Chains A and B, each alone.
Chain A
Amino acid sequence: MILGIETSCDETAAALVTEEGEIRASVVASQAELHARYGGVVPEVASRRHLELVTPVIRETLGVAGATLDDVDRIAVTQGPGLIGALLVGLAAAKALAWSRRLPLVPVDHLDGHVASLYLQPEPLEPPFLCLLASGGHTMLLDVRSHTERELLGTTLDDAAGEAFDKGARLLGLGYPGGREIDRLAQDGDPAAYAFPVARVPGLDFSFSGLKTALLYAVRDLGEEELAERRADLAASYQHAIVRALVERTQEAARQAGRDRIAIVGGVAANSELRASLPAAIAAPLSLCTDNAAMIASAARWTEPVAYPRYLALDAYASR
C-alpha cells in the first residue's frame, strides 16, 4: 500500500491507497477554523499546526485502515507547490518514516495530486480528457493525455478561481474559507441581479481580478442594511460570473484539444453551480476536491519513486 502525506496549505492529511487505487483510509484535519479569525491562511500558524497534527493524523489513518506501517510499500508526500514551511513538516516526517524502514519515497507535485483524484476507485477515469483544475492557488486547463503527460492550455493571469471566491466572500462579510459560503448563500440569490464583468483575455487564459473590483464597488454603493438584503443576490451573481468564465473556457479548450470528455478537480470543483453547468463533466467526489492525501498517494502510482538513500536531502518547493 501507499501511504500519502499532504501538508501544503491548511489541511493536514494522510491516506492509505492500494496499487489499484482503492482508498483504505483518508484522514483530513482541516485548520479552517484556526485561520478563520485571520480571514485567511497564516503560514506560520499553519506550519505550527501541521507539526502538531502530522503524526496523529498518520496514526489515525493506519487505525482506520486496520493497518500498520509494515503494510506500507512506499511513502508519497507533497513536495510542492504550497507554503514552504508547511510542506517541510510533511516532507521531514515522510523522509523519517521512509528512511527508518528503507522504503522508497515518492515526491508528488500537488497539482498532479489534484488530477490524480480522478484515478481513484470506485470509478477511476482513464485519460485522455480535458481537465479544469480550479483551486485556492491555481486555475488551469490541462490536456491530460496519459497518466504521466499533460499539457497546460490555459491558466489564470492574476487571481485563482478559489482565491476569487475567498476574496469575494471577505467583501461580502462571509467566513473563511469563502467558496463554500458563497455557494451556500447563492442558492437563495438571483444570479442575474448584477451583471458582473468577466474579463475577456485572449486564448484560454483567465482573469478574475477585475471581477473582485466590481464586487467591491457594488458592495461599497450599498448601505449596511441594503447589503444584508442583497447579499444573496450579490453572492449568486458573483458566483455566476466566475462559473461562466470557467465553463466557457473549459468547453472551448475541450473543443480545441479535440477531447470529448471534461473533468473538474480542485476545491472549486465542489461548487454546485459549476457542477450543474457542466452536467456531462466528470467531477472528483466532493471529499477529494479540496486538499487530501488520497490524491497524493494516487498520483504516486504514476510518479517515479526515489530509492533509499537518494531522497534524504530532498527539498520542498513553494512554486514551480
Chain B
Amino acid sequence: MLTLAFDTATATATSALVDDGEVLGERVSRAQSLLEDVDALLRQAGAHPSELDRLAVGIGPGSFTGVRIGLAVARGLALSLDVPGAGVSTLAALAAGAPGALAVIDAKRREVFAIVDGEPRALAPAELQLAPGTVCIGDGAIRYRDLFEERGAVVPAADDERHLPRARFHAALAGEAGPVDEIEPLYLRVPDADA
C-alpha cells in the first residue's frame, strides 16, 4: 500500500512516500513548497499520483497557516484522486520519532504546544511539568532550551534530527483511512478577532 505522508504545521515541513512500511523517500522543506517535495518523491519512486493508496496528513498543532496548507493540499489530492486519508497529530509524530521524549512545539506568543495529561494543549513553557532528566524535543524545546534545562530537562543539540517532524512517522501512526474532508485541523486556540 503506497502512502503519501506530510506535515506542514511547523516551520520545517516534512513529506515521505512509504510503501507497506518501507520508506521510499523522505524530504524536508517549507509548507509553500510541499508539492515540490511530493513531486520529487513520486518521480524518484517512479510512481504516478493516481497510484497513491492513502494519505497521512499532519493536523497540527502548529502554525495555523501551515496546518491549513497541508490540509488543503490533502483535500485537493483526495478530491482529484479519490484517495482516503488519516489525520495524525504533529505532536504524536514528533514523539514517535523520539521515544521517551516530550514533544514541545513553539506556539508563538510565549506559549508552547505539548501533550499534558494525555491531551494536546497550548500553555506557557513554565507551566510544563518536567520530571528531572526528561528529554524535550521539537522547535519549542529549542526555543525555550534555557528555561527547560534550568528545570532539569535535557534538550538535545539544535541539529539533532529528533527536533523535526519526519513524515515516515505520520505514515506509521496513521489509523484507518477515511474521507479526507472529514480530517479536522488541530488549532488548539480560538481565532483572535484582533489578529
Q: Which residue numbers of A lie inside 8 Å of B, CB to CB? A: 38, 42-45, 47-48, 50-51, 54-56, 58-59, 69, 84-85, 88-90, 92-97, 99-101, 309, 312-315
25 pairs from A and B in contact (CB 8 Å cutoff):
A38-B193, A44-B192, A45-B191, A45-B193, A48-B191, A50-B68, A51-B68, A55-B75, A55-B76, A56-B181, A69-B80, A85-B65, A88-B32, A89-B68, A92-B72, A95-B76, A96-B75, A96-B80, A97-B79, A99-B38, A100-B81, A312-B33, A312-B35, A312-B39, A314-B32
| Minimal beta-carbon separation of A287 from chain B (angstroms) | 25
Return chain B residues, CB-CB under 8 Å to A44. Answer: 64, 191-192, 195
**Contact across chains for B187 and A92 when beta carbons are under 8 A apart:** no
Return chain B residues, CB-CB under 8 Å to A56. Answer: 181
- Please tell me if B167 contacts chain A, counting CB pairs below 8 Å: no
Name 10 extra pairs, CB < 8 A, besides A89-B72, A315-B32.
A42-B193, A48-B191, A50-B68, A69-B80, A92-B69, A95-B35, A96-B74, A96-B76, A100-B50, A312-B39
**Contact across chains for B35 and A96 when beta carbons are under 8 A apart:** yes
| Minimal beta-carbon separation of A82 from chain B (angstroms) | 14
Closest-by-CB residue of B relative to A96 is B76
Give A273 to B72 CA distance when docked, in angstroms.
Answer: 40
Which residue of A42, A56, A85, A93 has the most chain B CB atoms within 10 A of its CB atom?
A93
Please classify how large the interface on chain B is, using the bins under 10, 10 to 19, 20 to 34, 35 or more. Answer: 20 to 34
| Minimal beta-carbon separation of A44 from chain B (angstroms) | 4
**Contact across chains for A92 and B68 when beta carbons are under 8 A apart:** yes
Return chain A residues, CB-CB under 8 Å to B74. Answer: 96
**Contact across chains for A101 and B80 when beta carbons are under 8 A apart:** yes
- Please tell me if B101 contacts chain A, counting CB pairs below 8 Å: no
Return chain A residues, CB-CB under 8 Å to B76. Answer: 55, 92-97, 100
| Minimal beta-carbon separation of B184 from chain A (angstroms) | 9
**Contact across chains for A47 and B64 when beta carbons are under 8 A apart:** yes
- Please tell me if B128 contacts chain A, counting CB pairs below 8 Å: no
Give A38 to B194 CA distance when docked, in angstroms.
Answer: 10
| Minimal beta-carbon separation of A170 from chain B (angstroms) | 15
| Minimal beta-carbon separation of B173 from chain A (angstroms) | 22
Give A93 to B78 CA distance when docked, in angstroms.
Answer: 10
Closest-by-CB residue of B relative to A101 is B80
Give A96 to B72 CA distance when docked, in angstroms.
Answer: 8
Give A48 to B64 CA distance when docked, in angstroms.
Answer: 9
Return chain A residues, CB-CB under 8 Å to B187. Answer: 48
